[in-house]
Amino acid sequence: MATTAEAAGIWKIGDLTVNRLGFGAMRLTQYGAAFGDGIPSDRDRAIAVLRRAVDLGVNHIDTAAFYFSALRSANELINRALAPYPDDLVITTKVWPGRNPSGEWWWATPEQLRGQVEENLRQLGRDHLDVVNLRIPPSRKTGSIAEHFGALSALRDAGLIRHLGISNATPDHLAEAQAIASVVCVQNPYGVGAPPDSHAFLRTCGEQQVAFVPFFAIAGTGRESGSNASDHETVLSIARAHDATPAQIRLAWTLQRGPHVLAIPGTGNPDHLDANIAAGSLRLSDDEMIRLESL
């Protein structure tokens, strides 16, 4: 019998209860590079993966309107596969970056965020979005996000959005956003090998009961392109001890970093999906956790 997402435990994103092991939709649209350079994915297989994820207990899906390839849109695949949506399904999206039909990137002004939110609503076939993350550009790592986050807060007040989060953020961003409106989640790159300041930010989120949602927990420095490096012998030896894959060990370690930590591994491969879900039942020892943290 297959392991289900319930094995990872639950957490609340605002007032929405989710299983801590979710699904990221970025890799549904194509094979190879994440944005624009890969081969369009097989539509039927992508739809089957989404339905299989929900069958395995996934009730938290991360997506974005800018997740598209030449022939595929992640949001529209989600709509086709899962609508009418299960009552407990939480769909999280993100705005500020965008891509035009040619795939070129652009960044929205505060006034343009409404259009990005409405595009997500249209593609997903919904009248409101469960969670919208403000995805902060690298150029704002030390700058203010008040205007953009304030614009999202107004859209929440208007009923288009239920809850707000921030992505690619710093502790200063969290403090600034919290002064404007409640932040229910922080979505940042994180995993085995993360720097000390990332560990500290994770703890800060836990102290505030804010969900910490790592992306690239498996890919690491490979980021959008996926894992591109050989795993450290420590990861390999722990994987052998648990009869698991290195990717499963990375996911298990991430989930054990705190009860408020979620995971959103993405894949277009049904076998990889099952393996990712199974990682939610792995339990690493204190010694194994310390060994992995030291990498």
3-state helix, strand, coil in the chain (%, to 5): 40, 20, 40
Helix (H) or strand (E) segment spanning residue 189: strand 183-189
User: In angstroms, how far is the first alpha carbon of the chain from the final one?
Assistant: 34
Strand partners, 106: 98
Q: What are phi and psi of 236, to 5 degrees?
A: -65, -40
Any idea which residue has 């695949």 for tokens?
A: 77
* Catalytic residue check, 190: no
Residues 262, 266, 272: CA angle, nearest 5 degrees? 110
What 3-state DSSP class applies to 162? Answer: strand
Pairing relationship of beta strands 105-107 and 97-99 according to DSSP bridges:
antiparallel
Q: In terms of DSSP H, where are the helices of 125-256?
A: 146-157, 171-178, 196-207, 233-241, 246-255
Per the residue annotation, which of 31, 67, 85, 190 is the catalytic one?
67
d(CA 272, CA 293): 24
Catalytic amino acids? 67
